[in-house]
Chains A and B, each alone.
Chain A
């Protein structure tokens, strides 16, 4: 049939192909594909920029500059009139910063009459030495009058300067450490007295207005209490609710309402839960502000929808044959579910719970409203005590102006992210290890 097609006369050259724009279309295809790759890389690139910016700013927070010098616990300064046997308060209120200053000044060879020099020395040591030396003396009053080698916390600015975070090329008046102090710092470092040590303080200390002494210890305890409350409340309630909705609920308006409700609650902004907690738990029920109990309750309500949705999916995944077999052997419906279906669904439920908990652990906004933005320096002993939470601590430090707090904030974020990584990896492993496919 194609033979019938005849070319016009003179068409001895190649038959011209009709331009169907194939080149243009293929170019468009390549462009479209490139857009996809670009978008994907953009997202992943920013993931890495974010992680890099946090880690690069924060990894130094796990090291702390310390000045290790022989400290003379001079009786002259601590207890001039030798009253410590009768008045134990004497040892608590003594002027320990002076003790520390003298020790450092002695090593540096600053004369006792050099007031400006002594002040500069004083600025190199953290105020935290007051409690550090006090605790040493109170624990062991024998050391008064002796000389002990102590690692003193360096001041935040010296810490930053030693870690190279302060630009030393700017003029002396525009930075927080003087040339003299930098010189001393290098002198001490060369002598081996000043150096970086692993910073246990960031894990155990409470909040402090001095960055070098601030830590997330209290916040960790607060977060721990809250996670405990969330786990204890939301897991049983969530599982019970899902069992009812998935296995027992008749299809009617009421269960439809619950369904829509749960889906909506999962999407309600978290700050609204904070308002709920403030109005109901604190204002109406009279629970204490800043308590981890209230935080736990609010986060429980917030986590419940997540757990319910995950649990229902896990229950749905258990094949009907299991139910049929149990029912066929004479088990009641309740027995079937609690003895057979629930154990099989457990890995999925736990995975969902861990993910919900991880989400709750990072949540900040509702906790701000129930007063957990409090300066808490002491460990809470019960969930009713004022406490703070890890993300809230991050928020509070992020608002601090001092350069050294940026480092601390990033350090706290790294700790938070590590917890989240551990939880999520745990969830993934749990799923890989126990999940069955039918």
Chain B
């Protein structure tokens, strides 16, 4: 039976158990539910949980574990000369076997008979069914594929039987436990609590997943390319070697990418920080409630626009505009109408990213500025300071730690931003300081190394995970530090 079907059966079992359990509990109480410890529905739920939960766990464990067991059994059945080969070749052979096995499921019995033991004919027959094979299968592979299919079939049957038996046993046992004094609600609530704990640990699992997946893949990468060459290399040139050619590995220097990331982020902050900060100050200190109620949501709309839209804006509007205006300026100044700002440049990407970051800076700082106690302002104004002096000399120093925290969080956004730089920053990994030239970033390279067809064995694709973990660590450090500053600051006034 297929897994969805088993799940459906389990769902039906759960509903039946609920109804039967509820009825049974009411019958025991003689129809007076107040004689029971819990409300009747809890007894039904208890029976349903006892039936389905263990069965579902068995199902999950079986589904995860059985492929490992079957695969190793099939690999063990390979002829000795194949077993003597390298891991990678065995893996290839096994991939062939499993696609053969999938194909033999599709073929009808007559077709298998007509093909017989001829591997070439088998390949053609599978190709006709829309299942192309990478190469001609060898006879032992066909045999192994048959074994694989047989084992899978047996495993599936046993699994179905075991799951259903476990469900029935669970239902039966729990059914017999229903009585007046049985504390069904406490049991059910304990299970619910368990589910809540599991749900909240998903956050932890995600983090572990991120770290583990990137560490293992990056580990493979560092097995090919020394870590110091990655972290301190100044040349980024990941040559995509032609398949099969023993070509050079290419160079994977992180420094040019990191410089580009930081440079573009710096330009973005140069735009976002003054604009965002002054907007926040104006909205918090000067604007009338009416103006504030219009401008604050308007600025926050900027944060709601997807970054791909900013990228497109940079690509089609800002980039060409800067290019044309630079060519005009150059023409007026020197008579030579060559543009000195490229359409894709640090400036374009940084400027547009800066606009995107304005609302992050402004709304975070706005919250922090408004949190500064009124008394501080009144004291300063009472001593004769003007409003701007109060802001500059009293409010901002008090808000500074929080603002710095907000800026750090914004900076981590700038570093992790992808779509704007993919479309507007260019792909050339260069080390230079001219903001009018294109540079590239870590995120751009992650995207460009991982789009398209890829195999998970070449350093060209694995490097993306090394870049990813670098990015993750940088943003994580920025965020934790920002969180630390903000928390520390918050304690001052509470």
Chain A residues with a Cβ under 8 A of chain B: 25-26, 28-29, 31-33, 35-40, 42-44, 46-47, 49-50, 53-54, 57, 236-238, 240-245, 248-249, 257-258, 260-265, 267-276, 278-280, 283-284, 301, 304-305, 308, 332-334, 358-359, 361-365, 368-369, 371, 373, 391, 394-395, 398, 406, 409-410, 413, 416-417, 420, 424
Contacts and interface: CB of A to CB of B under 8 A. Distances in A.
Q: Most A CB atoms within 10 A — which of B312, B392, B450?
A: B312
A28 B451 CA distance: 54
B306 A420 contact: yes
Dominant SS among interface residues on chain B? helix
A308 B200 CA distance: 9
Contacts of A334: 189, 192-193
Contacts of B196: 240-241, 243-244, 248
B313 interface: yes
B447 A369 contact: yes
Contacts of B34: none
B394 to A, nearest CB: 14
B322 to A, nearest CB: 14
Contact of A36 (B189, B286, B476): B286
B224 interface: no
B423 interface: yes
A24 to B, nearest CB: 11
Contact of A275 (B214, B317, B483): B214
B443 A37 contact: no
B443 A391 contact: no
B302 interface: yes
Contacts of B415: 269
Contacts of A29: 386-389
24 contacts: A29-B386, A33-B286, A40-B283, A43-B298, A43-B358, A47-B299, A47-B302, A237-B202, A240-B196, A240-B199, A244-B197, A244-B200, A248-B196, A263-B483, A265-B203, A267-B412, A269-B471, A273-B210, A284-B213, A304-B203, A365-B307, A373-B451, A394-B308, A417-B309
Contact of A267 (B192, B302, B475): B475
Given A271-B446, A278-B450, A261 B207 contact: yes
Contacts of B295: 40, 44
Given A40-B295, A275-B468, A283-B456, A304 B447 contact: no
Contacts of A42: 275
Interface string B266-307: 000000001111110111011000000001001101101111
A31 B286 CA distance: 13
Contacts of B278: 35-36, 38-40
| Tier of interface size on chain B | 35 or more
Contacts of B308: 362, 364, 391, 394-395, 398, 413
B416 interface: yes
B190 to A, nearest CB: 9
B200 A258 contact: yes
B279 A279 contact: no
B377 interface: no
Interface in B194-240: 195-197, 199-204, 206-207, 209-210, 213-214, 216-217
A363 B193 CA distance: 33
